[in-house]
């Protein structure tokens, strides 16, 4: 595609401004590790919320969402539960609050507050560092594949997708590495504004160009319905026949079974708390536990509405106007190319530059956030802990530069060998998270769980995540999750029950500071003997109710912009009513009851 001089100028100006901002704030970020990785815990919660949302508004994920919406229609709303997206509700209601009370720098450092300072904690510490680095490399490979495929279509130079990815990741790394979290957050806020403007523009274009009658002619029955039965019941025969093959290949035909497995997996993963990535980093960077909960809640508000205006906008433009191009691909439709194809056809000069800058910003924000989070584990949890505990603060910052470049090189190397976006995404959300789940659920809710249990649960889980897909190559990633979960759970219990419990003093300190609910009765009885004024956490029922309401609230925030774009009046009215009711309930039963620690 040949971009106009105006569009190229907008994109180059965006890159220049972003890099300048990153270098401008680098002095503030280079004071110490706390400043470099957490912004000195001085950033407002709503700024961190926008930053977190910007990191989740990634270009690769948006390409996948457009594909899902084209194929599955409104039912595609449920597919992001694979991540699961509703983990933000669990975090908003209680887990961000619990995590922030620990007052540490990384997830690995958190383990000392839970398990103490024995050998078992050292082993647990190593296992979570390994997981953090493996997942970071996976996310960087995922980003590499998406940005390369996207850039090769739009940018004017005749080079390979992998080379484009290499160049753009290198430019982004310049400010992310130099400026630390300050530059990442500040540029992410700017990037989110650009992405929101672009999303609204795409939604408006789709509303103006596509009528309900035009859409009805190119979609199967049930495409505009959010609901489903035992079967998916979407038949594309006579419209776009090859889509039926894609649905069968994805394994979603028995949608009720798929949905139940996805919900089961999603709840367990959500109960485990945030993975050691940029999401956890934003929580730890807030000023207080209350602000941590507010930040996680705010992510849902600012992320979902604009993103799904864009997703549904490109979806209906593609279905109505690009059907011949899709049919011409035959049985090998490249669904990951739908978003770039739609942009080339429907976005005018000037707006094209803004949109591409916005989508590049989406990539850069996710990439920069991941690149800023991962080195914290190398520097704080390996170098400082085991090799140089008393270095000057700036020495650690310089080592962070080196660690960032190391993670970047390894992530790019894996990106070169990955075949598709979907392949990496499914491995991360199903296989890898299957290995993470068991140990990280037990650490919050069961007093008897110790560092050895955590270590063996994580090691067996990561090993299973890496080997099960090779042993059973025809097994889908979601179906592999229970196998990996069983292996990890067995490792967790065996490692725990054959070793001594964590020291009582450590458990009491953790319980009184974090105040979790769950199976903590023996520790509560010890604490209450020493502190008669201590009040245990009795919010389990309220938190569970708020999670259920919050999940409904999140779904309505997702479908409302989609109904707007396709002009479904009934859906708009019902969604607005449900959104209003759930918002009032959350206001009274969650927001008003957030505690100031």
Which of 107-121, 131-145, 508-522, 557-571 is least confident? 131-145
Which tokens in the block code for residue 416? 């070169």
Highest-confidence segment of 173-187, 379-393, 433-447, 506-520? 506-520
Is residue 43 within 8 Å of 316, Cβ to Cβ?
Answer: no
Cβ atoms of 342 and 334 within 8 Å: the answer is no
**Residue labelled with tokens 């001085």:** 42
Name which residue leads in pLDDT, 556 or 84: 556
Alpha carbon distances (Å) from 594 to 60, 102, 518, 572, 589 = 35, 17, 19, 31, 9
pLDDT in tens, 316-350: 998 998 888 877 776 677 766 777 778 778 878 88
Average pLDDT for 373-393: 74
- The span from the CA of 226 to the CA of 73, in Å, is 8
User: Which ranges of 347-419 does DSSP label H, i.e. alpha helix?
Assistant: 351-373, 375-378, 393-417
What's the confidence (pLDDT) of residue 492? 95
pLDDT confidence of residue 28: 55
- The winner for highest mean pLDDT among 87-96, 147-156, 167-176 is 87-96
**pLDDT band (50, 70, 90) for residue 107:** low
Handedness of CA 465, 469, 472, 478 (dihedral sign): positive
Can you read off the two tokens belonging to residue 349?
Answer: 């000069």
359 contacts: CB under 8 Å, gap ≥ 6: 59, 62, 150, 195, 198
- Taking alpha carbons only, the member of 58, 59, 138 closest to residue 410 is 138
Least confident piece of the model among 34-48, 186-200, 483-497, 533-547: 34-48
Q: How confident is the model at residue 78 (pLDDT cuts 50, 70, 90)?
A: very high
User: Any idea which of 120-129, 307-316, 333-342, 382-391 has the lowest mean pLDDT?
Assistant: 333-342
Give residue-wise pLDDT tens across range 254-277: 788 888 888 988 899 899 887 666
pTM for the model stands at: 0.83
* Structure confidence at residue 392 (pLDDT): 77
CA atoms of 397 and 545, how far apart (whole Å): 43
Assess whether the previous peptide bond of 531 is cis (omega < 30° from 0): no
Q: How far apart are the first and last CA of the chain?
A: 55
- Tell me the pLDDT tens digit for each residue of 30-62: 554 555 445 556 678 888 888 777 767 766 677
Residue 573: Cβ within 10 Å count? 11
The predicted model gives 18-29 an average pLDDT of 65
- Residues 496 and 304: their CA atoms lie apart, in Å, by 40
List for the chain the helix, strand, coil content (%; round to 5).
80, 0, 20
362-392: string of b/e by CB count within 10 Å (b at 16+)? Answer: bbbbbbbbbbbbbbbbbbbbbbbbeeeeeee
- Residue 387 and residue 379: Cα distance in Å, rounded? 10
Query: Is the pLDDT score of 576 beyond 80?
Result: yes
Q: What is the pLDDT of residue 175?
A: 58
C-alpha to C-alpha distance for 349 and 339, rounded to whole angstroms: 17
pLDDT at 560 over 90: yes
**Phi-psi label, residue 475: left if phi above 0, alpha if psi -120 to 50, beta otherwise:** beta
pLDDT value, residue 62: 79
CA gap 371, 408 in Å, rounded: 7
Distance CA 36, CA 15 (A): 22
Strand partners, 519: 446
Residue 135 pLDDT level (bands cut at 50, 70, 90): confident
pLDDT score, position 166: 80
pLDDT digits (tens, 9 = 90+) for 398-425: 777 777 778 777 777 776 666 555 555 5
Per the model's pLDDT, the better-predicted residue between 217 and 35 turns out to be: 217
Q: Which residues of 547-562 are buried (b: 16+ CB within 10 A; e: fewer)?
A: bebbbbbbbbbbbbbb
- Looking at residue 196, what is its pLDDT? 86
Q: What is the pLDDT of residues 55-65, one digit of tens each?
A: 677 666 777 88
Output the pLDDT for position 134.
74
Which fold, 5-212+226-234+250-418?
A: Sodium/glucose cotransporter (1.20.1730)
Percent of the chain scored above 70 by pLDDT? 84
Return the structure tokens found at 554. Answer: 């999140």
CA dihedral (472, 474, 476, 477) positive or negative: positive
Give the pLDDT score at 462: 80
Counting Cα atoms < 13 Å in the Cβ hemisphere of 495 gives 27
- On whether the CB atoms of residues 1 and 153 are closer than 8 A, the answer is yes
Out of 68-77, 118-127, 335-344, 586-595, least confident range: 335-344
The SS3 assignment for 515 reads: coil
Q: Is the pLDDT of residue 557 over 60?
A: yes
pLDDT of residue 72: 92
Q: Quote the pLDDT of residue 276.
A: 62
pLDDT value for 565: 96
Mean pLDDT check: name the lowest of 81-85, 216-220, 551-555: 81-85
Rounded-to-integer distance, Cα 473 and Cα 153, Å = 31
What per-residue confidence (pLDDT) applies to 359?
72
Average of per-residue pLDDT values in the chain: 82
pLDDT grade for 454, boundaries at 50, 70 and 90: very high
């Amino acid at each position: 595609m040949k971009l106009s001089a105006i569009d190229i100028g907008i994109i180059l100006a965006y890159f220049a401004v972003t890099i300048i901002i990153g270098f401008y704030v680098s002095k503030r970020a280079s004071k110490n590790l706390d400043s470099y990785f957490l912004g000195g815990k001085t950033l407002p919660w709503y700024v961190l919320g926008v930053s977190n949302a910007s990191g989740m508004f990634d270009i690769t994920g948006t390409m996948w969402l457009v594909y899902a919406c084209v194929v599955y229609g409104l039912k595609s709303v449920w597919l992001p539960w694979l991540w699961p997206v509703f983990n933000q509700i669990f975090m908003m209601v209680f887990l961000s609050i619990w995590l922030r009370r620990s007052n540490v720098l990384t997830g690995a450092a958190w383990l000392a507050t839970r398990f103490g300072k024995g050998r078992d904690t050292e082993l647990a510490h190593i296992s979570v560092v390994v997981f953090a680095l493996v997942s970071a490399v996976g996310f960087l490979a995922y980003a590499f594949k998406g940005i390369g495929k996207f850039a090769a279509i739009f940018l004017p130079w005749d080079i390979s997708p992998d080379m484009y990815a290499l160049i753009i990741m290198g430019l982004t790394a310049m400010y992310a590495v130099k400026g630390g979290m300050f530059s990442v957050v500040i540029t992410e806020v700017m990037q989110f504004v650009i992405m929101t403007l672009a999303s609204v523009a795409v939604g408006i274009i789709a509303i103006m160009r596509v009528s309900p009658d035009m859409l009805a002619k190119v979609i199967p029955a049930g495409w505009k319905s959010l609901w489903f039965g035992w079967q998916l019941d979407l038949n594309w025969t006579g419209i776009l026949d090859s889509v039926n093959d894609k649905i069968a290949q994805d394994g979603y035909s028995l949608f009720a079974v798929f949905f139940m497995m996805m919900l089961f997996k999603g709840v367990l993963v959500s109960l485990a708390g945030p993975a050691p990535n940029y999401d956890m980093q934003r929580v730890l960077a807030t000023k207080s536990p209350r602000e941590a909960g507010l930040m996680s809640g705010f992510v849902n508000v600012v992320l979902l509405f604009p993103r799904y205006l864009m997703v549904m906008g490109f979806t209906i433009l593609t279905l109505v106007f690009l059907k011949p191009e899709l049919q011409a691909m035959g049985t090998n439709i490249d669904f990951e190319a739908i978003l770039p194809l739609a942009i080339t056809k429907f976005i005018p000069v000037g707006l094209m530059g803004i949109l591409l800058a916005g989508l590049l910003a989406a990539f850069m924000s996710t990439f920069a956030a991941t690149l800023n989070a991962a080195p914290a584990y190398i520097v704080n949890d390996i170098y400082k802990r085991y090799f140089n505990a008393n270095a000057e603060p700036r020495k650690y910052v310089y080592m962070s530069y080196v660690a960032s470049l190391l993670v970047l090189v390894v992530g790019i190397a894996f990106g070169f060998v990955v075949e598709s976006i979907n392949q990496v995404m499914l491995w991360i959300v199903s296989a890898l998270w299957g290995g993470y789940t068991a140990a990280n659920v037990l650490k919050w809710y069961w007093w008897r769980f110790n560092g050895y249990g955590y270590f063996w649960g994580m090691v067996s889980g990561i090993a299973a995540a890496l080997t099960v897909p090779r042993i059973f190559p025809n097994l889908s990633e979601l179906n592999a999750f229970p196998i990996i979960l069983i292996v990890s759970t067995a490792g967790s219990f065996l490692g725990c029950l054959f070793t001594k419990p964590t020291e009582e003093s450590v458990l009491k300190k953790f319980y009184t500071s974090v105040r979790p609910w769950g199976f903590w009765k023996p520790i509560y009885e010890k604490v209450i003997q020493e502190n008669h004024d201590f009040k245990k956490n009795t919010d389990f029922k309220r938190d569970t109710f708020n999670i259920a309401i919050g999940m409904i609230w999140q779904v309505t925030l997702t479908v409302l912009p989609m109904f707007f774009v396709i002009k479904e009046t009934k859906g708009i009215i019902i969604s607005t009513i449900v959104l209003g009711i759930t918002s009032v309930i959350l206001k009274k039963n969650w927001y008003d009851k957030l505690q100031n620690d």
